[in-house]
Amino acid sequence: MRTTVAALIRKDLRLELRSFESVPAMLMFSVSTFVLFHFGLDRGALDGDLAAGVLWVTLLLAAVLGMNRLFVAEQEQGGFDGFLMAPVDRTALFVAKALVLFGYLAAVELVAVPAFVVLLLAPGAGQALPELLAVLVLADAGIAVVGTLIGALGVQTRARDLIVPLIALPLLVPVVIAAAEASAPLFAVAGADPFPGRWLLVLALYDAVFGLLAYAVFDYLLEE
Amino acid sequence: MATATAGDSLPAVALDGVGRAYGERVALREVSFTLARGATVAVFGANGAGKTTLLRILAGLLRPHAGSARVLGAELPREAYRARGRIGLLGHDPMLYRDLTVRENLRFHGRLHGVDETRAETLVAQVGLAARADDPVRTLSRGMTQRAAICRAVLHAPELLLLDEPLANLDPGGAAAVAPLIGRAAGPARVLISHAAEQGLAEADDVLGLREGRVALWAPAAQVGLSDVRGLYA
């Protein structure tokens, strides 16, 4: 399965590098949203709960753009048929796509999080980078798993752009709550508050539950 | 690459009363026929007769809603996994990523099928695409895209070839170049959809005519005349 996953990831990254359809759109959306919040809130400096909420809602909505495009090449260019006729484990497609979406989110966050710090975060807040990285990794994993599942479901419908956010956003509410709760103390102005590790556990549990669920049902989503 | 299995003595295709509907619309009704290993059946029928649905059922991409379908000894859809990697499909869609080059597409499909990269190189040279192998598929003409799609369909040396108008968009030189790969001499059993009656009859051992999803003609090709085929389109 490792060879198949590697081949699928390599193919997806090549397609993205040639078409620039997902990551630039996700990035532009994130930065534009931060600019809108900057002016819309009429505050150049957010901290605590508000800063965490703005960051995670923005990243989640940007992720929806990536979910929408995740399976488009497979659907429009015969990739599904080619894959389904090959003697490979179908779960490889789920694993590869989830890793690709995770990679897209990480690439977006490399630019979007510093942009968030510059545009919105209060001076002195956001000092605990390792903890924030842990939150980002666990939240991205959850978004990638659920996003891949919903992306595969949505691409087979005519109303993909509508279906994906309608299903994905409610399913990802726990991720936003846990990620925002875990990040809020890190964005406190008077130095980082004690890090609520239990929210990391919630994220890890969410990732494990939805990872197993996706593993179990993904095969059926590929059926006609 | 395709490997020998216990079902090798069975026919390449054995359909018995196969039916398929899309919602209320019935696309195939009670289609039955048998195709021996290495033999070719030409499928004729007007647009909407059910030819593409038949091909996708045989490819394991659509479930039959009625009847029994066996492909390369595997009962569909229950044992579809046994036929995977042993069927080559050349449909209307080339099944190639437009932003990847021909070589990248073939290497990708080769990895899915566990095929050595040299096989792709050989095929590309054979169909006269070597000079364009590093061009993105979206920059190729239709004929060249069809040649690349043929390479993709036969990359894993399938035991059953499902061909939907395989010579569409090919010039005479292109048709001659792909003949050793998908023609009668290529070896695998073939289900060949064609609208070119003369050509289809010359290529086939048996003829299947479909009209509104039903079998309207089933006979050895030698006993079928051009008028019989044309009658399917009337």
Distance CA A105, CA A59 (A): 8
Extended strands (E) in chain A: none
Distance CA A95, CA B6 (A): 32
CB atoms within 10 A of CB B188: 22
pLDDT cut 70: percent of chain B above it: 96
CB atoms within 10 A of CB B197: 20
Token digits for B53?
A: 């649905």
More reliable by pLDDT, A98 or A73: A98
CA distances from B162 to A195, B10, B225 (A): 60, 18, 23
Superfamily of structural domain B10-86+197-234: P-loop containing nucleotide triphosphate hydrolases (3.40.50.300)
Which domain range does residue A124 map to? Answer: 2-222
**For A174-198, what is the mean pLDDT?**
83
pTM over 0.80: yes
Domains of chain A: total: 1
* SS3 state at B103: helix
Give the long-range contacts of residues B79-84, CB within 8 A, separation 24 or more. B81/A87, B82/B5, B82/B7, B83/B160, B84/A84, B84/A85, B84/A86, B84/A87, B84/A88, B84/B60
CB B42 within 8 A of CB B206: yes
Chain segment A26-53, per-residue pLDDT in tens: 999 999 999 999 888 877 788 888 999 9
- Contact residues, chain B, for A73 at CB < 8 Å: 97, 99
The alpha-carbon gap from A89 to the nearest alpha carbon of chain B, in Å, equals 10
Distance CA B86, CA B3 (A): 8
Token digits for A175?
A: 């991720």
Distance CA B182, CA B162 (A): 10
Cβ-Cβ contacts under 8 Å for A172 (sequence gap 6 or more): A60, A142, A143, A146
Given a cut of 50, whether residue A175 has pLDDT beyond it is yes
Given a cut of 90, whether residue A145 has pLDDT beyond it is yes
Quote the pLDDT of residue B78. Answer: 87
Does B109 sit within 8 Å of A81, measured CB to CB?
no
Quote the pLDDT of residue A76. Answer: 86
Residue of A nearest to B156 (CA): A86
Does B62 sit within 8 Å of A85, measured CB to CB?
no
Quote the pLDDT of residue A156. Answer: 81
CB A96 within 8 A of CB A13: no
Where do we find the tokens 């509410």? Answer: A173
Token digits for A31?
A: 């930065």
Backbone CA torsion sign across A60, A62, A67, A70: negative
Amino acid at position B200, single letter: G
Give one word for A95, left, alpha or beta, with left for phi > 0 and alpha for psi -120 to 50.
alpha
**First CA to last CA across chain B, in angstroms?**
42
- To test the contact with chain B by mutation, choose from A85, A91, A158, A223 the residue with the greatest count of B C-beta atoms within 10 A, namely A85
Per-position DSSP letters for A129-174, written without gaps between them: HHHHHHHHHHHHHHHHHHHHHHHHHHTTSTTHHHHHHHHHHHHTHH
CB of B142 within 8 Å of a chain A CB? The answer is no
Distance CA A136, CA A107 (A): 12
Distance CA B133, CA B114 (A): 20
**Phi and psi at residue A193, to the nearest 5°:** -70, 165
Quote the pLDDT of residue A158. Answer: 80
Quote the pLDDT of residue A126. Answer: 66
**For A163-185, what is the mean pLDDT?**
94
CB atoms within 10 A of CB A20: 10
Where do we find the tokens 């009859």? Answer: B201
Q: Which of A109, A121, A119, A117 lies closest to A39, judged by CA? A: A119
Question: Which of A14, A73, A87 is nearest residue B84 as measured by Cβ atoms?
Answer: A87
> Which run of H or E residues covers position A221?
helix A197-222
CB B33 within 8 A of CB B69: no
Quote the pLDDT of residue B101. Answer: 96
Does A86 sit within 8 Å of B97, measured CB to CB?
no
CB pairs under 8 A between A and B: 74
Distance CA B155, CA B160 (A): 12
- In this prediction the ipTM stands at 0.87
CB atoms within 10 A of CB B111: 19
Chain segment A79-137, per-residue pLDDT in tens: 889 999 999 999 999 999 999 999 999 999 999 999 999 988 888 776 777 888 999 99
Quote the pLDDT of residue B1. Answer: 39
More reliable by pLDDT, B3 or A149: A149
Instruction: Kindly list the strands in the beta sheet with B40-44, ordered across the sheet, starting from the edge strand earlier in the chain.
Output: B87-90, B160-164, B189-193, B40-44, B206-211, B214-220
CB A87 within 8 A of CB B113: yes
**For B203-207, what is the mean pLDDT?**
93
pLDDT cut 90: percent of chain B above it: 77
User: Which residues 112-131 on chain B approach chain A with CB closer than 8 angstroms?
Assistant: 112-114
